[in-house]
Amino acid sequence: MHLSKAIVAAFFFVVLLGGTLAHGQLTPTFYDRTCPNVSSIISNVITETLVSDTRIGASLIRLHFHDCFVNGCDGSLLLDNTDTIESEKEANGNNNSARGFEVVDRMKALLESACPTTVSCADILAIAAEESVVLAGGPNWTVPLGRRDSTTASRDAANAFLPAPFFTLDQLRESFTNVSLNNNSDLVALSGAHTFGRAQCSTFVFRLYDFNGTGAPDSTIDPPFLEALQKLCPENGNGSVITDLDVTTADAFDSKYYSNLQCNRGLLQTDQELFSTPGADDVIALVNAFSANQTAFFESFVESMIRMGNISPLTGTEGEIRLNCRVVNANLAGPDSMLVSSI
């Protein structure tokens, strides 16, 4: 890492947090001595995976979002079911939709080989989110690091705190406020992650036929777009069929997402709510600003990603550095269990 870049990033991070580092220990230089190639290792795995899975970048950034929104950025989403853990993977917002776990496993295996017992699963998600954005043509930023991994998960908290695709703007605002994010600038900037990736018919089909019990489609959907979606997702059809979140540039990280909203071509209700909710002048102004100025979107997105990545991290001696992102160290069996006492 270039020294001047690290200093600037560290300063920027301090400013975001009002002059102090939350929990005192997240820093962009955390692995400079102990695992200097951590970002390149993660980036290489994403690059290799993109050859056969063009949506993996969007899937990985979604894992980071859904991890941070549930009791903070602690890697809890990655834990599998055990006798004592109800995995967050089976929460309503994740079940049969959150994906990319095998890719995270590959990253972790390579990092354990290069830098044993050093890089947390929570930090892997944070770095993977940034690298995914960069590889899709979006902005880069120096990720504050030093998170540790939880030893618990909470499916109930995931069900309570993850925003649902049918949320109104007021409900979205509440979701962001609940995790100490801004309910306008952070909400609109982070929603811009829907500039790439896919969504299943089940997440928006309710808009296409009987929206909110009206017996008619959502009136905010552009008619030709509605017709195309109805062909793709017939009523009572296969809810697992996927389509592009951004109908203009499906795999590029750019500002076209916001231009789509201006044309009433937001795929999810939660997308179009940002532009079509009456009286929502603050968020509508941001949609217009980001559509007109991609640089402004990128700058705001970076700021909001850093802020989100700082939601209640475990640091210092809290939590652990998992050897396997799916399992807490106390439940490991075999040769790896001998390493647990030193982490």
218 is in an annotated binding site: no
Identify the helix (H) or strand (E) that includes residue 242: strand 242-244
163 is in an annotated binding site: yes
Q: Is 29 annotated as contributing to ligand binding?
A: no
CA atoms within 13 A on the CB side of 202: 11
CA-CA distance, 171 to 24, in Å (whole number)? Answer: 32
The answer on whether 64 is annotated among ligand-binding residues is no
Q: CB–CB of 147/73 below 8 Å?
A: yes
Burial of 45 (0-12, 13-18, 19+ CB in 10 A): buried
H-helix or E-strand spanning residue 200:
strand 198-200
Task: Residue 24: count other Cβ atoms within 10 Å of its Cβ.
Answer: 10
The catalytic residue among 2, 23, 64, 66 is 66
Active site residue 64: no
* 74 annotated ligand binder: yes
Does residue 148 sit in helix, strand or coil? strand
Q: How many residues does the chain have?
A: 343
| Helical packing angle, 3-16 and 294-309, nearest 10° | 80
Distance, CA of 74 to CA of 204 (rounded, Å): 30
Q: Cβ–Cβ contacts within 10 Å for residue 57, how many?
A: 28
- Element of type H or E holding 133: helix 121-135
254 in a known ligand binding site: yes
The DSSP symbol for 249 reads S
Q: In angstroms, rounded to a whole number, what is the distance separating the alpha carbons of residues 98 and 130?
A: 18
User: Is 195 labelled as part of a ligand binding site?
Assistant: yes
- Consult the annotation and say whether 246 binds a ligand: yes
Cite the active site residues.
Answer: 66
Positions at the binding site? 67, 70, 72, 74, 76, 88, 163, 194-195, 246, 249, 254
Binding residues for heme b: 194
Known binding-site positions for Ca(2+):
67, 70, 72, 74, 76, 88, 195, 246, 249, 254
Binding positions for substrate = 163
